[in-house]
Amino acid sequence: MKLQKDSLGFLVNDVARLLRRAYQSRLELSSLTHAEAKTLIYVARHEGVRQVELADLMDIQPITLARLIDRLEEEKAVERRKDPEDRRAYRLYLLPGAEPHLEAVKEVAAVIRENALKGLSEQEVEAFMETMRRIRSNLMQG
């Protein structure tokens, strides 16, 4: 049996690994780890989300997310608020301390995006992004 040199799974996984490594090395200037930065971005995109729902969105265990949120609370970037509809649940909100971290992540992301997409035209980038969105949608549907 001959294996493809650049199968979809291996290629996507390799690109994701390299992107993660690039983010982590550049985020060293920040006090946040890659996982904490990713969590902060998710909270920013889904502010007011229940903690358990965010764990599902991020595809991580609730206890793992709880530790990440603990760290972001220490950084005064995120706060947990009791859910008025369910006293056992918490909703997550950004605090003013999140802004410098989000700005740093935004700057790092711009540099990495520029490096990753070097040599591609805007049309190629848009076609690639649309293809990736379709693949993601297909996989989410099962």
The predicted pLDDT at position 60 comes to 96
* Ranges assigned E (strand) in 9-136: 78-83, 86-94
Q: How far apart are CA 5 and CA 24, in angstroms?
A: 27
pLDDT tens-digit profile, the chain (142 residues): 555 667 888 999 999 999 989 988 887 767 888 899 999 999 999 999 999 999 999 999 999 999 999 999 999 999 999 999 998 899 999 999 999 999 998 999 999 999 999 999 999 999 999 999 999 999 989 7
* Ranges assigned E (strand) in the chain: 78-83, 86-94
Residues with Cβ < 8 Å from 27, sequence gap 6 or more?
A: 33, 34, 37, 104, 105, 108
**Domains recognised in the chain with CATH numbers:** 23-141 (1.10.10.10)
The predicted pLDDT at position 1 comes to 53
The predicted pLDDT at position 27 comes to 77
- Please give the helix or strand (H or E) that residue 1 lies within, else none: none
Q: How far apart are CA 131 and CA 140, in angstroms?
A: 14
The predicted pLDDT at position 24 comes to 84
pTM across the whole model: 0.80
